[in-house]
Structure 1
């Protein structure tokens, strides 16, 4: 029987890879932003209890300039990311040039004008060698004191997931690829990733798809789409891990902030134009004190940002966070389905 063209393509171009270095970077992302990674909350709490304040601050600092460590993941290919030895990948941070370091750590923000860069980014550009050594020693210490212990516990599950995926890509390629994530759609001529926006790639545009099993990534659909060699993470459930029935606190804050007709109108208005308190008072026909209370709620949730201009403070909707709300909702409701598919 002739093999279906899509099955042929998957068998030739798709594979799963065990990458402990990738798992280390994703674990750092979870430490910086644990709210959505409900299956890892107990691990985060345990690490924070045992980690000294200086290391926590450094992880948060580099998390901020790397967009929660995602920029570091974008350049994994330069760090032997498919090596079984985390130390080998970390060592690369110590030998790259200062320019490479700045590009890798600042990602798309490297090309920004100085006036648009954060103070943290400006400090990295001012003292690249110092920060390069600091990050290198941070990764070494984190690997030795925290991550190595966790990797020892999860490595069998990761290796098992890699072997299972690769066997599936040979025996039942289409269904195995479709099982990676509910919002990863495998069509006859193309694949789609449903995130804040839809990413679509024809198979003819791609060289390869690499699947990276991770015990930390859930519930994200994490993809690297910057090249014709796409990387996609796959959730791996640890059977012994405790299920934490909680809701993501940042999602809850945003939904509570929007659960008011006046604040909803204000958020929509400020999405298209900045407003000061005085202007909003006229727009929503409420007292200035009432508008100020609404603004405090919205600012605390992260849905709006403020900027001073002379004697006035102008507020604008955080368009990125608003866009990500849909993704956050998808991720929260995806979780039971992800767990069910992983267990089958």
Structure 2
């Protein structure tokens, strides 16, 4: 469902309710509910009664395709995906040109022409080092992945999400209509500023504070789509497309929340950083990867002591490990380090 708002400085404004988008948001929460306080109980109950085979397949797409965010791009690219019927949306995606499906699912990491060339001559392109191994594995059999994608989403919809949607859909539609009216009764940029505490407006620039800062100039935008979800809170969900479109998301809360619930992964990270030795280890392996023996020598500690600290750091996701011959080397996970401020702010926002 699409509601057209008043244009702003030549930029088209759309308010969109998409059941397909809401279903993907629910799957994002299902695999990692810790930060979504109002949906933790929902996720636990659903996971307990869900067929383990189905959850494993859904979790595969969560892990491999940016926690379902890649698939959300179907909503911005094709209006038909945002129809009131999720099955119609899935059937549309199923009928898409396989190269277009692959381009979206790979998050634009591989240029469209490169995808087309790869699928046209798969054997000759396996040695192409410009395409990541993960992307090659996808492109080696995209039809199989699409069949798996469509099949698991249809099963999830019919067996689980259909009933949830009957409950939340009226509230989502009503709230979206209210937001459109609100946006027309104030300056639109002031309205955008109300959507999330980590959105900052400054001289027709919109700044989004996530694990890094994303800056968008309003004068470059042709269209702003405002989506709505009852699952995505407290995330600041933003989509910035190459065709000068911007996707924002209204966070609709449906239940009373324990606002002081601390996500398990955030608590683990903060606990990992609370020890002086572990901080020294992180600084050391930030400079270059090291093994347990090397770290023990550097800090004049036993290997058993270093191993104990590395186990805590690895469990929190702050370090990664790789085998080199008979030794395991540890290196810092920079992406996880970058996410710490964002995870803290998400806890504050919830």
Report TM bin, short chain.
0.7 to 0.9
Q: What TM-score do you get using the length of structure 1 for normalisation?
A: 0.88
Instruction: Indicate if the aligned counterparts of 2:205 and 2:215 stay in contact, CA closer than 8 A.
Output: yes
The correspondence of residues 174-323 of structure 1 with structure 2, limited to 5 A, is: 174=188, 175-227=190-242, 228-238=244-254, 241-244=255-258, 246-323=261-338
Aligned match of 2:16:
17
After TM superposition, give the deviation of residue 122 of structure 1 in Å. Answer: 5.5
After TM superposition, give the deviation of residue 242 of structure 1 in Å. Answer: 4.6
Range that drifts further, 43-52 or 167-176: 167-176
After TM superposition, give the deviation of residue 105 of structure 1 in Å. Answer: 2.3
SS in 1 for 2:34: coil
SS in 2 for 1:107: coil
Aligned match of 1:144:
158
Instruction: Indicate if the aligned counterparts of 1:257 and 1:298 stay in contact, CA closer than 8 A.
Output: yes
Inter-CA distance 310–60: structure 2 relative to 1 (3 Å threshold): same
After TM superposition, give the deviation of residue 133 of structure 1 in Å. Answer: 1.2
After TM superposition, give the deviation of residue 277 of structure 1 in Å. Answer: 1.1
SS in 1 for 2:214: strand
SS in 1 for 2:200: strand
> Aligned pair count?
325
Instruction: Indicate if the aligned counterparts of 1:65 and 1:105 stay in contact, CA closer than 8 A.
Output: no
Instruction: Indicate if the aligned counterparts of 1:65 and 1:106 stay in contact, CA closer than 8 A.
Output: no
Inter-CA distance 113–45: structure 2 relative to 1 (3 Å threshold): farther
Instruction: Indicate if the aligned counterparts of 2:272 and 2:312 stay in contact, CA closer than 8 A.
Output: yes
Aligned match of 1:117:
133
Inter-CA distance 36–318: structure 2 relative to 1 (3 Å threshold): same
Aligned match of 1:171:
185
Instruction: Indicate if the aligned counterparts of 2:272 and 2:313 stay in contact, CA closer than 8 A.
Output: yes
Alpha-carbon distance in 1 for matches of 2:169, 2:245: 25
Mark the runs of 5 or more structure 1 residues left unpaired by the alignment: 1-6, 336-344
After TM superposition, give the deviation of residue 83 of structure 1 in Å. Answer: 1.9
Alpha-carbon distance in 1 for matches of 2:136, 2:31: 21
Aligned match of 2:116:
none
Range that drifts further, 63-72 or 11-20: 11-20
After TM superposition, give the deviation of residue 108 of structure 1 in Å. Answer: 4.7
Alpha-carbon distance in 2 for matches of 1:276, 1:114: 31
Q: What TM-score do you get using the length of structure 2 for normalisation?
A: 0.86
After TM superposition, give the deviation of residue 8 of structure 1 in Å. Answer: 6.8
Alpha-carbon distance in 1 for matches of 2:217, 2:11: 15
Mark the runs of 5 or more structure 2 residues left unpaired by the alignment: 1-5, 112-127
After TM superposition, give the deviation of residue 327 of structure 1 in Å. Answer: 0.4
Alpha-carbon distance in 2 for matches of 1:19, 1:268: 45
Inter-CA distance 58–42: structure 2 relative to 1 (3 Å threshold): same
Inter-CA distance 194–10: structure 2 relative to 1 (3 Å threshold): farther
- In the alignment, structure 1 residue 76 sits paired with structure 2 residue 75: yes
Instruction: Indicate if the aligned counterparts of 1:109 and 1:117 stay in contact, CA closer than 8 A.
Output: no
Alpha-carbon distance in 1 for matches of 2:287, 2:98: 39
Instruction: Indicate if the aligned counterparts of 2:110 and 2:131 stay in contact, CA closer than 8 A.
Output: no
After TM superposition, give the deviation of residue 211 of structure 1 in Å. Answer: 1.1
Inter-CA distance 166–225: structure 2 relative to 1 (3 Å threshold): same
Inter-CA distance 16–186: structure 2 relative to 1 (3 Å threshold): farther
After TM superposition, give the deviation of residue 126 of structure 1 in Å. Answer: 3.2
Alpha-carbon distance in 2 for matches of 1:204, 1:295: 48
> For 1:7-46, what per-residue CA distance to the aligned partner results, in whole angstroms no more than 9, with x for missing partners?
9726953332111111111111111211111110111011
Instruction: Indicate if the aligned counterparts of 1:306 and 1:316 stay in contact, CA closer than 8 A.
Output: yes
Alpha-carbon distance in 1 for matches of 2:178, 2:9: 15
Alpha-carbon distance in 2 for matches of 1:8, 1:25: 28
Range that drifts further, 37-46 or 169-178: 169-178
Aligned match of 2:342:
327
